[in-house]
């Protein structure tokens, strides 16, 4: 169905970028192929090239490039247009921005039918509703008139899929189709994609997450720096990866427990009966937590569960409506900021996006220096997080994502805090870098006895790092206990749903 040999895509804008450097693969009718790689690996560009959408300044060349039996080298714009939507449908990451936010769902789906002259004006409304029914959108007659922002993340993504399959394409290209979604919704969308495949559609999946695609794909192509470093049956790749990069990915996806043997020490922070109300909405209720020295406590929940508010309450950024926070034996809530200041340095924060967490006008030297006692040397701290003196005089912008998060860790550990609140510290990172940062955090706990409150939507990360876990849902803790107990014998149905939804590598080794 698709045959590509030695595909090269070069962007000739202000800077010349070789995004894809000689990639060869085939996709057969009815197959499900996955391209896995990190950001900048060229996986999306490769996929988009298949429908002629590599980008405005892209220069595409290939030894062989046939789509549906036709040589597409030298295709004119209108030849490509005939392929798009009709032969191949494209599903992008987040439907909130991938569907036109100013148009109704019905108009977006109808546009495909209209462009390719499918049906006539009268029967199109029915066709649109049938498409929505096919992707299991309830009450399709109501949904067609709604705008993307009025739908939940899952429904939106389904609507996007409906618009991609509206032209009856034989090939579906899904570029990170579940990345922006919560775990439970992610599982549902994967099921839907599996269903499409069962109806005979060929599937090309693009993902950074090996675990997500492993359930669906027959074959996996692993891309790095514009090249395919390894390819083969999903099973073979998972069990017998040869390339070190693939091994890294497999390990990151299957998880590695970073436990400790040390016993927790005295109480560091304590929250009792926390409650936070905004207007008429209660975001957090009945929240109790005790964190001891040397402990890593995981806090899990989906977006809107109240976990970020908990972080703000513990950190003293907002005052609880009722309940109280104590830190190192002193009151931390209900007191003026002046009273908190002397012990502020003992409580640190690592945020999801390190770039916005640094003053853009400051160099690394000054950023880390701020956290040290006056005149302290930042180099030893940077060395602990695996960074050399060469980054000292760089601005945050000039660092890679992984380096930035290391600087954030260095700044957090520099004042020797007793507790670090980590709010989704690895969610924005590529999987291989994720593993390194998690190793680093585990090491710091081991060496310094620092307690960590680790907030994440990602159960896999929590399982690998935390000792205890609290599961939050709708502002309250629905389950808590030692990680192993919660993961093996979840009591609450919400926890079970979360656990079921986690994509794991299921391979009999």
Partner 1 sequence: MSLALPRPATRRLSLRIPRPGLALAGIVLGLAAAAVLWPSAFAGDPLAADPLRVLEGPSAAHWFGTDQLGRDVLDRVVHGARHSLSIGVAATLIAVGAGLLLGLLAGLTHRFADEALSRTFDALSAFPLVLLALLFIAIAGTGTTSLIVAIGIATTPHYARVVRAQTLVVRRAPYVTHAVAFGASRTRLVLRHVLPNVLGPIPVLAMIGLGEAILIAAGLSFLGLGPQPPSPEWGAMLSEGRGYLHIAWWASVLPGCAVTATVISLTVIGRHLQNRFEGRIQ
Partner 2 sequence: MITAIARRVASGAIVLWAAATAAYLALLAAPGDIVDAIIGDGADTPQIRSQIIAEWNLDRPAIVQYLDYLLRAAQGDLGRSYLLQRPVRDVIGEQILPTLKLAVAAAVFGVVLALILAVTTRHRWVRRVSSTAELIIVSTPPFLIGIVLLSVFSFRFGLFPVSGDRGWAGLVLPAITLGLPIAGVLAQVLRDGLDRALDEPFAVTARARGLRERAVLVRHALRHALMPAVTLLGWLSGVLIGGVVIIEQVFGRPGLGQVTLQAVGNGDMPVVLAVVVFAAAAFVLINTAADLAYLLIDPRLRRS
Sites of contact with partner 2 (CB under 8 A): 48, 51, 53, 77, 81-86, 88-90, 92-94, 97-103, 111-112, 115-116, 147, 149-150, 160, 163-164, 167
345 binds, among partner 1, partner 2, none (CB under 5 to 8 A by kind): partner 1
Residue 220 vs 451, nearer CB to partner 1: 451
Residue 110 vs 425, nearer CB to partner 2: 110
The rounded distance, in Å, linking the Cα atoms of 3 and 65 is 6
371 binds, among partner 2, partner 1, none (CB under 5 to 8 A by kind): partner 1
Q: Which residues bind partner 1 (CB under 8 A)?
A: 315, 317, 337, 340-342, 344-345, 347-349, 351, 353, 356-361, 370-371, 395, 397, 411, 415
**Minimal distance in Å, beta carbon 201 to partner 2?**
15
Which tokens belong to 171? Answer: 């090939």
349 binds, among partner 2, partner 1, none (CB under 5 to 8 A by kind): partner 1
Tell the burial category of 317 from Cβ atoms under 10 Å away from its Cβ (0-12, 13-18, 19+): exposed
Contact 159, 151 (CB under 8 A): yes
Residue 36 vs 391, nearer CB to partner 1: 391
**Minimal distance in Å, beta carbon 13 to partner 1?**
11
Rg over alpha carbons for the chain, rounded to the nearest Å, is: 25
**DSSP class of residue 143?**
H
377 binds, among partner 1, partner 2, none (CB under 5 to 8 A by kind): none
Residue 207 vs 450, nearer CB to partner 1: 450
The rounded distance, in Å, linking the Cα atoms of 463 and 31 is 33
193 binds, among partner 2, partner 1, none (CB under 5 to 8 A by kind): none
Residue 70 vs 496, nearer CB to partner 2: 70
**Minimal distance in Å, beta carbon 285 to partner 1?**
24
Residue 103 vs 489, nearer CB to partner 2: 103
The rounded distance, in Å, linking the Cα atoms of 489 and 469 is 13
Strand partners, 227: 224
Measured between its terminal Cα atoms, the distance across the chain in Å is 32
397 binds, among partner 2, partner 1, none (CB under 5 to 8 A by kind): partner 1
**Minimal distance in Å, beta carbon 338 to partner 1?**
8
Residue 205 vs 350, nearer CB to partner 1: 350
Residue 108 vs 423, nearer CB to partner 1: 423
The rounded distance, in Å, linking the Cα atoms of 430 and 104 is 34
Report phi then psi at 203, rounded to 5. -125, 130
**Minimal distance in Å, beta carbon 26 to partner 1?**
41
Strands 64-67 and 2-12: antiparallel
344 binds, among partner 1, partner 2, none (CB under 5 to 8 A by kind): partner 1
**Minimal distance in Å, beta carbon 350 to partner 1?**
9
Contact 43, 36 (CB under 8 A): yes
Strands 451-456 and 267-278: unpaired
The rounded distance, in Å, linking the Cα atoms of 405 and 432 is 13
200 binds, among partner 1, partner 2, none (CB under 5 to 8 A by kind): none
Contact 328, 418 (CB under 8 A): yes
> Using alpha carbons only, what angle is made at residue 207 by residues 202 and 213, rounded to the nearest 5 degrees?
60
The rounded distance, in Å, linking the Cα atoms of 211 and 506 is 9
């Amino acid at each position: 169905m698709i045959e590509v040999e030695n595909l090269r895509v070069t962007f000739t804008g202000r800077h010349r970028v070789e995004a894809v450097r000689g990639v060869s693969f085939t996709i057969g009718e009815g197959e499900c192929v996955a391209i896995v790689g990190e950001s900048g690996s060229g996986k999306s560009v490769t996929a988009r090239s298949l429908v002629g959408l590599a980008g405005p300044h892209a220069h595409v060349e290939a030894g062989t490039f046939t789509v549906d039996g036709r040589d597409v080298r030298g295709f004119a714009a209108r030849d490509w247009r005939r392929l798009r939507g009709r032969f191949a449908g494209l599903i992008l990451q987040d439907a909130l921005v991938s569907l036109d936010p100013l148009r109704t769902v019905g108009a977006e789906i109808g546009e495909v039918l209209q462009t390719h002259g499918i049906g006539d004006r009268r029967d199109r409304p029915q066709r649109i509703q049938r498409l929505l029914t096919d992707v299991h959108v309830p009450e399709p007659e109501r949904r067609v008139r709604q705008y993307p922002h009025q739908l939940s993340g899952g429904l939106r993504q389904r609507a996007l899929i409906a618009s991609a399959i509206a032209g009856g394409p034989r090939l579906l290209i899904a570029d990170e189709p579940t990345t922006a979604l919560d775990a439970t919704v992610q599982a549902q969308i994967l099921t839907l994609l599996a269903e499409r495949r069962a109806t005979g559609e060929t599937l090309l999946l693009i993902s950074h997450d090996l675990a997500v695609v492993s359930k669906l794909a027959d074959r996996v192509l692993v891309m790095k720096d514009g090249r395919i470093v390894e390819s083969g049956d999903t099973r073979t790749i998972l069990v017998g990866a040869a390339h070190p990069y693939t091994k890294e990915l497999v390990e990151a996806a299957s998880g590695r427990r970073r436990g400790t043997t040390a016993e927790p020490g005295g109480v560091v922070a304590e929250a009792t009966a926390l409650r936070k109300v905004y207007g008429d909405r209660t975001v957090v209720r009945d929240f109790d937590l005790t964190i001891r020295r040397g402990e890593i406590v995981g806090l899990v929940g989906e977006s809107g569960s109240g976990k970020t508010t908990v972080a703000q309450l513990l950190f003293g950024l907002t005052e609880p409506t009722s309940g109280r926070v104590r830190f190192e034996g002193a009151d931390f809530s209900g007191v003026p900021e002046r009273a908190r200041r002397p012990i502020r340095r003992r409580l640190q924060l690592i945020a999801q996006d390190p770039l916005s967490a640094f003053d853009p006008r400051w160099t690394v030297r000054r950023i880390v220096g701020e956290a040290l006692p006056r005149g302290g040397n930042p180099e030893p701290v940077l060395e602990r997080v695996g960074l050399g003196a060469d980054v000292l005089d760089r601005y945050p912008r000039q660092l890679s994502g992984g380096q930035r998060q290391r600087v954030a860790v260095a700044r957090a550990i520099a004042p020797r805090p007793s507790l670090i609140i980590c709010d989704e510290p690895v969610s924005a990172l590529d999987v291989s870098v994720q593993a390194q940062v998690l190793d680093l955090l585990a090491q710091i706990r081991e060496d310094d006895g620092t307690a960590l409150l680790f907030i994440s939507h990602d159960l896999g990360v929590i399982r690998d790092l935390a000792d205890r876990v609290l599961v939050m849902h709708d502002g309250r803790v629905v389950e808590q206990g030692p990680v192993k107990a919660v993961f093996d014998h979840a009591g609450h149905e919400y926890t079970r749903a979360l656990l079921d939804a986690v994509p794991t590598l299921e391979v009999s080794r």
